[in-house]
Structures are given as structure tokens and as C-alpha cells.
Amino acid sequence: MAGLKLENVCKRYGAVQVIADLSLDVAQGEFVVFLGPSGCGKTSLLRMVAGLEEVSGGRILIGDRDVTAAPPGQRNLAMVFQHYALYPHMTVRDNLSFGLRNLGIPADEIARRITESARMLELDTLLERKPGQLSGGQRQRVAIGRAVVKEPGIFLFDEPLSNLDAALRGRTRLELAQLHQRLGATMVFVTHDQIEAMTLATRIVVMKDGAIEQVATPAELYRRPSTRFVASFIGTPGMGFVPVERAADDRGHAVVTVPGGQAITTRVPAQGLPAQGLVLGVRPENLRIAEHGPLRGRVELVEFLGERTLAHLKLDGGTPLVVTVPTGASPRLGAPVAITVDMAEAHLFDEDGLAHHAQESLA
């Protein structure tokens, strides 16, 4: 096993800079996920770590070794791609052993590694089949097994679940989490799917426009996003945002006026908070439809999701907002409603998109 260190890494394609001065430490044994929308630079970053893309500036270290200019085969890592890239004319056993044979590893050692990885990934009964005889999930397990048999210091995953259907993605996520627990290996995983990131990662690196927005545990990202972008990207649906006006201070906390004119006292410290350009951010589960509340609007859509129901509202003034409602108590479409806010879980965002958190958010 090994850790990974990125020091002031940047990537340019001609005059276009896609990653600028990015630094990150991944500890040995961590499961770190690069998360962000398409085009944010996460795959380019992973490919630079793998040695498949040149680094325009900065350094990449695996363990204590500078591998910035090292070829892929000398980096002590294994990569699982979005497309399985299996040899169709070879059996599963041969697909697993092919790379090891090229490295000159003894036959008895290859057999040991294949036996162990096949048992771990439940491929025992599939070793003599060819990829065309396997399901999508089985082929992906073979691709993962091909990385496991290398016994690398670091595993790299480039959106390996994106070609699977929803049910299979869920099962494979569980298998990857269990694999990480069994191996205790360092794993770096790229995805645009925040559910994958939240369920797999020990830490998530949220990226936007080639830069890191925030690095934190899944719980911290959800409860204390550092920027409005992170707050909107993490969560299904994302956080709701309501423009507010700074009104006053109350015992050191900011008082804001919401659309409709009602003033509410937040739990965000007033000190250092700008006077203008504020937005109140609240997640759907921290809003409630009630007889009386500071926010008012109308129900535009009710979405039943089994374990919860979401009411999509349009507030007075036109701001959209999503509220979690008790299952079986769905509001009527078009009905006027009032909404209360759990101020302990509400945030304020300034004009630059930076978050100002309630003092008791993680108490």
C-alpha cells in the first residue's frame, strides 16, 4: 500500500488550462473520491496520476517516490476503466493472468493471486468463461479482479459503474466498499454521481472548473458545505436557496428578511457577515409545511419516492423550493402553504458563494 501526494499540479492543453495549481494528500488506506460535473478536470487528474497524461507543472508522489515523469508501469498502481477493456478471445482466467505473465511473475504465484481474487470477487465458477458469456456486472468484476491480482500500492477507478443499470450499480458499490475493507488499500475513484461518492468515500474531493472546492468526509460535506456550489451539488435534491435581506442582529446572530417581508433570526454569527447579497440555504428535510411559517408559496408538484415524499413549491416572488413532507400527508397541487425553517440547519451564503454556518450545525 502507498499514499498519494499531489503538489501544485496543473494541466494545460495548449493555451487552455484545465487544472491549475492543485495540491492534495491521500493517506495510505484511504478511499478518496474525485466528484464533480463533466468537464471539471477529475478524469484528467486521475489520468495524470496513472501516467496516461503528462503533467504540465507540479509533482506527483506515490509513497515517498516522485513519479511525475515515470511511465505507467513503474508507478505501482492499477486502473479500472469505465469500459471493461477485456480481451474477448480470452477466458476470465487468461484475462486475469495476462498482465502478470508479461511481468514475468512465476506461474505458481499467478495461480495463487487468481485463486484469491476470484474467491474475493465471486468469480470462481466463471474462470473458464469468455467475456461474451458474462453479464455486465460480471465483466466489471473481472476488470476489478485484473487490478486486484497486480497487488498494487494504489487502485484507480475511472467511473467504473457508469455502464451498469441502477440495481447493479448498487450491488457493485457494496462490493467495492467490501473490497476496500478487506484489502485496506488506497483507492482513488472518479465519478460525477454523488450517491457513489457519498456511499464509498472516506473523503470526497469536490471539483469545479479544474480546482478543488472542498475536501471533507461525506457527512461534513452534507452538513457543512463550504460553498454554494458544494451545497447544490451534494444531496438529492440539492440544497434550496432563498434570497434574503440583512435586517439586524439579535444576540450576535444575523436577522434576515425573507420574501414576503417577515424577519427571522438565524443561528449564523453576525460578525463578519456581509450586509448585502445574502442567500438562505436549507435542505428539504429541514423545511416543514405548517399552518404558520415565514416562507409562503404554492405547491407545483408532489413527488412520491417511497421512503419520503417531496413537495416542489414556488415561493411568493418566484423562488423554487423543495420540502420533505410526511408520507400520506401530501399537500394538494396548487394549494397555498406556509413553511417553517429549522434554523439550526440553515446556512447563509454571500455574494461570492462562501458559506456562513449556524453555530449549532454540528453540535
Tell me the domains of the chain and their CATH numbers.
4-227 (3.40.50.300), 233-357 (2.40.50.140)
The stretch 208-215 carries a mean pLDDT of 95
- Put simply, whether the predicted model's pTM sits higher than 0.95 gets the answer no
Q: What does the alpha-carbon distance between residue 59 and residue 67 come to, in Å, rounded to a whole number?
A: 8
Res. 363 pLDDT band, cuts 50 70 90: very low
> Tell me, what's the pLDDT at 162?
81
Q: What does the alpha-carbon distance between residue 69 and residue 19 come to, in Å, rounded to a whole number?
A: 18
Q: Please give the angle made by the CA atoms of 98, 100 and 106, to the nearest 5 degrees.
A: 120
Say whether pLDDT at 361 is over 60.
no
Res. 168 pLDDT band, cuts 50 70 90: confident
CA distances from 192 to 174, 189, 220, 230 (A): 18, 10, 19, 13
Per-residue pLDDT tens digits for 292-332: 999 999 999 999 888 889 999 999 889 999 999 987 778 88
The half-sphere exposure of 213 on its side-chain side, counting CA atoms within 13 A, is: 28
> Tell me, what's the pLDDT at 66?
96
